[in-house]
Amino acid sequence: MKRNLRFCLVLIGLFIPGVFIANSQTLVESVAAIVGNEVVYLSDIENAVADLRRGGNRTPVDQLRCSVLHEILVSKLFLDQARIDSITVTDDAVEGELNMRMNDAVRRAGSEEALVAYFRKSMVEIRRDIRKTMLDQQIVREVQGKIGENLSVTPADVKRYFATIPKDSLPIVPAKYKVSIIQVDPPSNEDNKAMARQKLLDIRSQILGGKSFYALAALYSEDPGSAKSGGEIGFLTRGELEKEYADAAFSLSKNSISKIVETKYGFHLIQLIDRKGEMVNTRHILIRPQVKPEQAEKAISKLDSLATQIRKDSIKFETAAFRFSTHKDSRINGGKLVSTNPSDRVSWFSLEELNKDMYVKIREMKIGEISDPFQTTDENNNVVFRIIRLDDEMPAHTANIKDDYQNLSNAALMTLQSKTYEKWIKNKIENTYLKVSDEYKSCEFLKKEWLK
């Protein structure tokens, strides 16, 4: 299976973000191989090998070089086919991820200056090289997509795939649950927001009076991830920040302090540390609205009344959710909780995928039961109040066709795609000009599959 999957994810492992902190020594640009119109340079192989070694791979260097060469040659086959089929990818297709990769590279290096010194290249050159790698990856995916565009699996195919899995290798699927929720926000929350704003105004006055932003962030910020670093969150692109935060941060001059900025996480004071092109490094102090005991009591009472009415069948749970719930993502579905991942809108959750308060409630409930009201936090870590209904439960079990058909169908399709790619690669090798440097001809895969 691992061998098959490799062809679905060609070169992805070689170009993970860590490779961007690559060996900086100058290498002679000797040609290691030619595949059709595509060239593999010695530096392509040596840089990837060096990165894998730094990552802890202890495979003997000669074997590692052969493994890396194999993966690169496979990718070059796809790139050569893209040239033949006139498949291209624009810079726009990778720009968003490119910004995140660049930002991650800067964080790993410690600063832009450190990254430039390590690469011995300018930021423009580093960005250019990373963009080229990412464009190649996207082109490979486009070619693979074209090769496999008409592939599908039938229920019979899934059954045959399942039958090939040794019984002692079938995975244990953890227990999963379907849940509906009714959520209410703290009553009079505008008063809480006003108090949070006032607290930040007082902190801002202290900073403008000469006190250290760093020290006050460490003392007062309610963002535990950055407070210990004086509020610093590192270089981020506009797309990685909340819009309101980004608008304020990109409008600041170096070391200046923003006015109060509200996002879904609460209220922020922002200080611009530095700006490099389309990335900013900022400090912030986050203050969240605090819920008073009497407000919590009112919210709990409201939900308790709703729960009683639902249990008496005076109102349907779905109706109550639509009318009273403040959880925007679920209320339009009658309270049904669905994953917030847009590419994976599943409604089954393991307990580990739910927050601690939900976990504690659900593990003691029976199907159809409605919980007592409880205080918890939402996806943005703001205080909210909820009641939940356990809609369905799938006990932990060994994977089987009945309960896990969709997952098995996906795995069967992936296996079919992998076999199709392997067949395509074999045919492509036979019909493509290939030349490999003598120093690599001892690689076993070349003797068996490529050089005949």
User: Is 354's pLDDT higher than 50?
Assistant: yes
Question: Is residue 444, in this structure, part of any structural domain at all?
Answer: yes
Token reading at 364 = 């003691």
48 and 135 share one domain? yes
State the residue for tokens 């900086």.
24
21 and 145 share one domain? yes
Please tell me the predicted confidence (pLDDT) of residue 344.
56
310 and 180 share one domain? yes
Among 287, 322, 354, the domain boundary falls at 287
Return left, alpha or beta for 234; rule: phi > 0 is left, psi -120 to 50 is alpha, else beta.
left
296 and 390 share one domain? yes
Among 265, 287, 309, the domain boundary falls at 287
Question: 283 has which bridge partners?
Answer: 232, 271
User: Is 21's pLDDT higher than 50?
Assistant: no
Of 12-26, 344-358, 431-445, give the range with the top mean pLDDT.
431-445
125 and 20 share one domain? yes
Question: Is residue 339, in this structure, part of any structural domain at all?
Answer: yes
Mean pLDDT, rounded, of the chain: 87
Please tell me the predicted confidence (pLDDT) of residue 23.
39
Question: Is residue 164, in this structure, part of any structural domain at all?
Answer: no
Strands annotated E in 138-211: 172-173, 176-184
Query: 207 to each of 210, 229, 265, 340, 363, how far by Cα in Å?
Result: 5, 17, 22, 38, 47
Token reading at 441 = 């001809």
Please tell me the predicted confidence (pLDDT) of residue 250.
95
Among 287, 304, 319, the domain boundary falls at 287
The CATH number that applies at residue 270 is: 3.10.50.40
Contact 350, 179 (CB under 8 A): no
Mean pLDDT of 348-359: 89
Residues 6+ apart with CB under 8 A from 82: 88, 139, 140, 142, 143
User: Is 7's pLDDT higher than 70?
Assistant: no
Contact 269, 200 (CB under 8 A): yes
Query: 123 to each of 105, 114, 233, 241, how far by Cα in Å?
Result: 11, 11, 21, 22
Output the CA torsion sign for 280, 284, 288, 289: negative
437 and 378 share one domain? no
User: Is 129's pLDDT higher than 90?
Assistant: no
pLDDT tens readout for residues 373-390: 999 998 888 899 999 999
For the question of whether the overall pTM of this predicted structure is more than 0.75, the answer is no
15 and 125 share one domain? yes
Cα separation, 235 vs 115, whole angstroms: 13
Domain that holds residue 271: 189-287
Please tell me the predicted confidence (pLDDT) of residue 3.
40
Strands annotated E in 299-406: 374-377, 383-394, 397-398
Domain count, the chain: 3
Residue 20: which pLDDT band, with cuts at 50, 70 and 90? very low
